[in-house]
Structure formats: C-alpha cells, structure tokens
C-alpha cells in the first residue's frame, strides 16, 4: 500500500509540473489544442460529407457512425494526454542513454517512463469528444441506463489501455533495434482504423485490425454498447484483449530492460 501511495504522489507531482510548464508556454499549448480541435472537426465534417451521398455504411447510419467517431476521438485524446509523448520519448531516451535517469528514480521504471509527462492540450478536447458522443446519442434517441454509461466509461478505459499496451510493446523494440523512427506516424495511422465499423472489414483486414491488432474494437465495442445494448461476447473479447496485450507489453518492456546496458557502456 505504501508503494502504491508513493507512486500516486509521484504521478500527481508529474501532472503538477506538466501543468505549470504548459502555462509557461501558453502559445504552444493553445496552438496544439487548436490543431487537435481542427483535426477532430475534420473527422466530424467527413462523416457529414460521406452521408450526404449514402444512408448507410456497413449497416451504420449517420449518427451511429458519428457516435463511433466520437468514441474514437475520446480514446485518442486520452491517449495523447497521458501516454503518447511519454512512450515516444522512451525510444529517444534508450538510444541516447537518458533512460538511465528513469532507472535512478524511486519508482517502477515502467511507471516512471509512462507517467513523466502529461499533455494538457490533449485533455482539453476530451469534452468536445464527449459532446459528439452525447449529441449523437440524442439524435439516435438513445436512453442508456446508468449501468450502460458506467460500462461504456470502463470500455473507454479498456480502449485507452489497449492503445497504451500495443504502443508500448512496439516502442519497446527499441531495446533491440537501433531506431524506432517512423513508428509514431505508423501507429497513428493504425489508430485511424478505429473509426471504421467492424462490419466494414473483411478477410485479412479483419484478422489484422480486429484480432491481431485490436485497434477496431477499441471504439466499436463501446459504441455498440450504447447503440445495441450489452453484447457479452464482445465485452469479454475486449477485456480479454486488454489483459493479453498489457501482459505482452509488460513482458516485452521487462525483457528489453534486462538487455539495456546503460549509457556508461
């Protein structure tokens, strides 16, 4: 329990430092917040443009698709706020030897690596993503129960952990590779598949993006919960995938940690 409280205090201190730093460079913070807001607006406008020419995509109506996109944006914004910068700095720190700094800190190395920075510009647009979800649910005349709302929130957290775990597993390969260059843009491209309905994927694409790399279920399962109600099989699949990928990511990171020989060597 004392270790848990110590890590909580470290995390809160990191958040406080990040907030102070964000306010010191307000122009940079505002610019990136507006860039993310623009990107979210493009996603929403794209749905409107597409549905001007069709009534359904893979069985999903306009506002069902908008709810799916809103869920995708919600998970992405949380990922950007809490983990994105931290994990991509891991690759640079291992190559430069700065990773020694994390090993010298009074906490579990994976925790220190994952929580050192907090990006406020990602978090400020979370209410916008939530507003898209609420608006879509209203247009669909949905009336989710309290249990559905709680499970939806839990599934969004599962989606966040899934993204974190798959990204950590990939980035941790830097312990064996000379460079992880290009992974950031590549993985961001993969996250865009989460805007697609699962039913739109067939064959190899379904195997890769639903089962091997479950980037599609990250948003599909929570959105389907609000639209169609509880689907025990899908809920079990998402929870199982989250646990599996988190275990894989921790194992890969720990294996890389044992291989790391520090800057002094």
Query: Nearest-CA neighbor of 121 among 90, 80, 69, 70?
Result: 80
Sign, Cα dihedral of 123, 87, 101, 32 = negative
- Mean pLDDT (the chain) is 82
To the nearest 10°, report the CA torsion of 25, 27, 32, 35.
Answer: 180
Q: What is the pLDDT of residues 96-153, one digit of tens each?
A: 777 777 777 777 888 888 888 887 777 888 889 999 999 999 999 999 999 999 999 9
- pLDDT tens-digit map of 169-188: 888 888 887 666 666 566 76
What pLDDT is stored for residue 183 in this prediction?
65
In the structure, what pLDDT confidence band is assigned to residue 219 with cuts at 50, 70 and 90?
confident
Q: Are 32 and 121 a contacting pair, CB within 8 Å?
A: yes
Closest CA to 162 of 73, 245, 247: 245
C-alpha to C-alpha distance for 56 and 263, rounded to whole angstroms: 56
Confidence label for 161 from pLDDT (cuts 50, 70 and 90): very high
State which H helix or E strand residue 123 sits in: helix 120-123
Q: What is the pLDDT of residues 240-265, one digit of tens each?
A: 999 999 999 999 999 988 887 765 54
Residues sharing a CB contact under 8 Å with residue 260, sequence separation 6 or more, in sequence order:
94, 99, 175
Helical residues (DSSP H) of 140-231, grouped into ranges:
146-171, 183-191, 203-206, 217-228
Q: What is the pLDDT of residue 184?
A: 58
Among residues 164, 189, 165, 192, which one has the least CA distance to residue 84?
164
Terminal alpha carbon distance of the chain: 36
CA distance 165 to 83: 10
Contact, 84 vs 119, CB < 8 A? yes
Element (H, E) at 33: helix 26-51
Structure tokens at 28: 């940079």
Residues 6+ apart with CB under 8 A from 122: 36, 77, 78, 79, 80, 81, 82, 84
- Per-residue tokens: 63: 């506002």
> What integer pLDDT is reported at residue 137 of this predicted model?
94
60-69: pLDDT as tens digits: 889 999 999 9
The residue ranking higher by pLDDT, 264 or 195, is 195
């Amino acid at each position: 329990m004392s270790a848990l409280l110590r890590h909580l205090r470290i995390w809160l201190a990191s958040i406080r430092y990040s907030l102070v730093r964000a306010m010191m460079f307000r122009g940079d913070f505002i610019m990136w917040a507006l860039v993310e807001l623009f990107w979210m607006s493009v996603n929403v406008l794209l749905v409107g443009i597409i549905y001007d020419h069709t009534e359904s995509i893979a069985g999903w109506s306009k506002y069902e698709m908008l709810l799916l996109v809103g869920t995708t944006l919600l998970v992405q914004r949380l990922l950007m706020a809490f983990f994105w910068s931290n994990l991509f700095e891991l690759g640079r720190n291992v190559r430069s030897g700065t990773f020694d700094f994390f090993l010298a800190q009074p906490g579990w190395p994976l925790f220190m690596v994952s929580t050192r920075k907090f990006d406020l510009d990602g978090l400020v647009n979370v209410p916008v993503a939530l507003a898209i979800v609420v608006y879509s649910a209203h247009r669909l005349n949905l009336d989710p129960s309290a249990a559905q709302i709680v499970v939806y929130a839990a599934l969004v957290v599962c989606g966040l952990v899934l993204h974190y775990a798959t990204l950590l597993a990939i980035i941790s390969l830097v312990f064996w590779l000379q460079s992880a260059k290009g992974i950031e843009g590549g993985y961001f491209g993969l996250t865009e598949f989460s805007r697609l309905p699962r039913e739109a994927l067939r064959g190899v694409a379904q195997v890769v993006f639903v089962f091997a790399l479950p980037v599609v279920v990250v948003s599909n399962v929570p959105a389907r919960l609000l639209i169609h109600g509880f689907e025990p099989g899908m809920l079990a699949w998402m929870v199982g995938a989250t646990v599996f990928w988190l275990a894989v990511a921790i194992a890969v990171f720990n294996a890389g940690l044992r291989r790391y020989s520090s800057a002094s060597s």
